[in-house]
Each structure stands twice: as C-alpha cells, then as structure tokens.
Chains A and B, each alone.
Chain A
C-alpha cells in the first residue's frame, strides 16, 4: 500500500479547489453554461440585499437562514468569489476533522489518510464547494460536534448542534441518536469519555457484548432524563430558538416561511431522484389528505426509529445510515443531498469488512449505475422533450432499490463498535449498587 502524507494531500486538495474556483469564474464569463451553481447567485443576491439594509428574503428562492447571507457579506465589498473560498475551506476542514476523529480512535495513519482521500478527492465534494454550494459548512459543523463529544465537551457540542439545526433543518434527525448516546454511564459532564480503539485483526465477541448491548438500551430507557441529556437538550434548544428568534425579529414571517416551514412541508412535483415525484405531480391539483401524508411518512419514520435504536452507540455509523435512509426516503432528492452522508462515510470505512475489490466496487457501480440510468431518462425528458415520466419514475424506483441494497450491504458488513465505552463507576455508585 502506497503511503500518502496528510500535508501534501491537503495542499493538493487546496490547490485543486482554488484552480476550480478560478476556472469557474472564467467559464461563467465566457461560456453559455455557467460553472457556478444557481444557488450561489441566490446567496450572493441575498447578501447584497442584506448589505444595503434590506431583507435577504426579497430575493426570490432564498430559503436559508439569514446567517448564510451574513457569512457572504464580503461577496459584496470584497470579491464575489468569497463565498466559494469559504465553502471550499469548509470542505478542507471536513478532511481535517475526518483525520482527527479517526486518529482519536487509533486508526493507523495510512488508513486515516485513505479515508480522508475518499472525501477530499471525491468529485461530488470538490465540485460542490467550488460551485458555491454551502453544504460543506454543515458537514464541517456536524463533524465538529462529534469531535466535541469525543473530547467530553458537551456544552460546546450542544451550542453547535443548536446552530446547525437553525442553519439547515435536516440535522434534527440526529436528535434521538445524540440523546441515546448521552448516556450517563458513557458520557459525563466534565469527564473525558473512554473511546473505542480500532483493531485490524478479527474481533472476538467478548462475553459481555450481548449484555452490554442490552445494557445500552435498558439503561437508556431508565436514564432518559440524565443531567447530560437535559443540559444538551436545553442548550441546543436555547441556541436554536435564540438564532431563530433574532431572525424572526428582523425578518418576520417571511423568514419563518422561507427558511423553516418551506423545508418541513416541501413537496416538489418536478422530476428529481425521489420515488415520490411523479405521485406528487399526478396529485398536485388536489391537496393530500392527512392519512395520505402519514402513510408516505411511515416508511421514513420506521426506518429512522429502528436504525437509531439499533446503532445509536456506534455514533458515526448511526449518523451515516440515518442520513442515507433519510435521503433515500425523502420526498425530494437532489444531488447536493449526497454530500450529507459522503462526509460521514470515511468515518465508518475502517470498521467495514467490505473489500474494495470487488464488493466495494460493486456497491459503487450499482449506486452510480442507478443514478446514471435515472439521469439518462431525465435527459430525455428535460433536454429532448420526450414524455418519459413513467420510465423516469421507474428509474427512481431502481435508484431506491440500489440505495437499499448498498445500505443493507454496509449494515451487514459493519463491525459494530460503540464510540464510547462504559466509564468506571465511582465509589458512591458502587456502594449503592452493593446495597
């Protein structure tokens, strides 16, 4: 195996992103088809409006927190590419955080670097940031929350969690997982947790393994209102409501509708990877009943519930499978959503028994093949004007099947490894136990 150093990898990745940003500016000026994502112009226009004292929501289709427009204010008075550099820097930061998390679990350096490469050299990820999409910022915050928990910084983790949910609503799905992980026997306020250690050899099934697994669920149910959970919940909720409250005070119902309610109720009839798009289009002229909405939400809810209850202690893996399932069963799926789980994939690779040759490659080809198949029908509909709605919808069913297949393979070949281990009991607890 060729050894790759982290520093040259980061330098190369940074150079690649700077090159793409500069190239993107050239393409935007000289070619009909722009390199820059249309969303970036939306963010920039919103920042311009904010800079001139107006509401960023005067820009149609700006459906984000005012924080994003605030971050992009330098687009107005510095250079319009400021945002792209910020997002690409976040992208690089995700790479650094992946390395940090894996090193803390004593994963060997070369494996860490290869896992980081899975993020930094992934074409999806380096084009996302350089085209001006803000998802790398969210990914960086989520990984930072994991690092804070690994360092025992519960308060900081709570602050960042409240902020990221305000910024982008989807991380709310991680709330049950975080609550379960914040178990008094594994994580305590003011005490560093005991972390797992990676091992290359075949892992034995220790005698206490089944008991420990049962203990996690039983203890979780019994200690649902532990101090750690209450503190985390109160602080993250306070930060969320503080940010949301300030935004509402400044921008009123327009903010609430565009930045929050729109995402909670969004149903897009236009073609996208979701299996629901054609169903929504065919029924768009009438309102869906409450029963219909509940039925369509049920698969998502059940999958999330089971994944959380089964895998919560293995935090990075649980977040990963939750995100994959959330995207796969969502009513709208766009390519930028894939970044949400791409940033978590490197964290689980060292614990996966999938060999790159050939199981890993098969999973990659299956997933990309299903996507390419969908894109082919999408091209015929959108660029050739053919009525292929049924074929496109069936391609989205195939894509769901591919996602399910890959997810099942990853679950089946994952070595379950709780991130935090049982803390040593103090003497008073031991005394109580003896009584």
Chain B
C-alpha cells in the first residue's frame, strides 16, 4: 500500500509573466517553466527510483506543432519523449483544421529532487507555427494559450514490479487567471476580397495579352540557312 504522497507544482515567473512566447513571427516557441517539489514524507519513504514529468500543452485553434521538428529536438536529447496528437495537416488554414495537443516527457530522479533545496526546475520550450487565420477586419487574430496540464509518474523501486504512480499537479489556475498569453497573428481582411480578385484577374489577363502579342506579332523571325544531318 502506497502512503499518501504529495508533489507540488509552481510555475516559474519570467520577465514576461508565467508564460512566454519567444520571437515575433509566424514561428515562435511557447515557454513554460515549472518547479516541482515534494513533501518530507515523500522524501522519507523513497519508494520510487525514477520519475518523469509530463507536460501537456493543449494548443488553441490557429497554431500547430510540427511533429517532425519535435522529433528532431528529441533526437538531439533535449527532451525525453515528445508526441503530437491531433491534426497534422500543417498546410490547412485554422478554420479547416482541428486542435492539437503536444505532450513532452522529461525524466528525473527522486534523489535528484531531494538534493534541490527549492525543488526541481524544469523549463520546456515547444516550437509552434501559426496557421492562416480566419479573416478579420482588424488584420490580426488573437490566439490565447491556457495553462498546460502537468503530471508526474514515478516507478517503484522493485525491479520486478511494473507499478507506477501518477500524480496530477495543479497550480490553481496561476496562468489563466493572472497572465493570459496571447499571440496576435496576421490575418486577411475580408473587405479586400473584391478588389484583390479583380486586380488579380486583370493583371493575369494583361500579362497574358502582352505575351501573346509579342509572340504573334514578333516580326524578327529568321531561319537559319544551314542544316545538318545528324
């Protein structure tokens, strides 16, 4: 029987709040820093020999994570395991694509956790890309990120045992209520539609006409006199 054990979660504060989006482009990284600590009873029992923290980002509609890019990051040993669930058709605009979910696993040792006075700090950065947004009169579409779900799973010491225990870690809405992270993504403006269509077709027609006239009325057609049998 496993005694009651508790892990604590705290989101790390950065200059830009508890969450952060790096860069200012269609390709950004979502940063989440967490601190995990354990109570004394957990430390005393020392029942677990390995643990992993699982951070689950539920991405809002309008952004996606490239599974192959994340695989590349995993191959470089940045994270333990990474997976993307949901829509992987990266070319569709957001109004035709579904939401995605990114799961990042990072392994740590309970002993290592004990050695940290203030708990174990884990920083996760997930590269994201913006889809084409629904048309908006303002020219920008605001995409808001919620709080990630954080779990920890620890495996028992006895090798013959496959038993592991899952801890659901919560921060009582620290992110959603205090510092919502918003990404403003450029979007098309609906009022442009008529003008753009007309000018596009007129330009294509004019270019085609110029090429046709140049070809048909090209008067400088000369033929070479010399021939050769190959």
Contacts and interface: CB of A to CB of B under 8 A. Distances in A.
Chain B binds chain A? yes
Interface of A: 34, 38, 41, 60-61, 104-106, 150-152, 192-199, 203-206, 209, 212-213, 268-270, 275-276, 278-279, 281-285, 295-296, 298-300, 302-303, 306-307, 310-311, 321, 325, 328-329, 381-390, 393, 397, 400-401, 403-404, 407-408, 411-412, 415-418, 421
- Size band of the interface chain B makes with A: 35 or more
A418 B225 CA distance: 11
Contacts of A41: 68
A389 B186 CA distance: 8
A268 B24 CA distance: 24
12 contacts: A105-B228, A194-B229, A195-B228, A196-B226, A276-B200, A285-B134, A381-B26, A381-B186, A382-B27, A385-B26, A387-B140, A393-B200
Nearest to A284: B93
Contacts of B189: 389
A303 B212 contact: yes
Contacts of B134: 285
The secondary structure that dominates the B interface is mixed
Interface string B156-193: 00000000000000000000000000001111111011
Interface string B192-230: 110011011101110110111011101011111111111
Contacts of A388: 186
Interface string B1-32: 00000000000000000000000111100000
Contacts of B25: 382-385
Which of B197, B207, B226 has the most chain A CB within a 10 Å cutoff? B207
Contacts, number: 183
A195 B229 contact: yes
A387 B190 contact: no
B224 A269 contact: no
Nearest to A276: B200
A389 B222 contact: no
Interface of B: 24-27, 68, 72, 88-91, 93, 95-96, 132, 134-135, 139-140, 184-190, 192-193, 196-197, 199-201, 203-205, 207-208, 210-212, 214-216, 218, 220-230
Contact of B220 (A196, A329, A412): A412
B225 A199 contact: yes
Contacts of A276: 200
Contacts of A325: 211
A327 B135 CA distance: 28
A283 B184 contact: no
Nearest to B229: A194
B214 A283 contact: no
B230 A195 contact: yes
B228 A385 contact: no
A299 B196 contact: no
Contact of B188 (A199, A281, A310, A401): A281
A203 B226 CA distance: 10
B91 A268 contact: yes
Nearest to B197: A279
A69 B18 CA distance: 46
Nearest to A381: B186
Given A60-B89, A192-B229, A412-B218, A329 B208 contact: yes
Contacts of B204: 275, 296, 299, 329, 400
A421 B91 CA distance: 49
Given A385-B186, A387-B186, A328 B207 contact: yes
Nearest to A278: B196
B197 A383 contact: no
B152 to A, nearest CB: 30
A282 B228 contact: no
B210 A382 contact: no
Given A411-B215, A411-B218, A295 B227 contact: no
A209 B222 contact: yes
B101 to A, nearest CB: 17
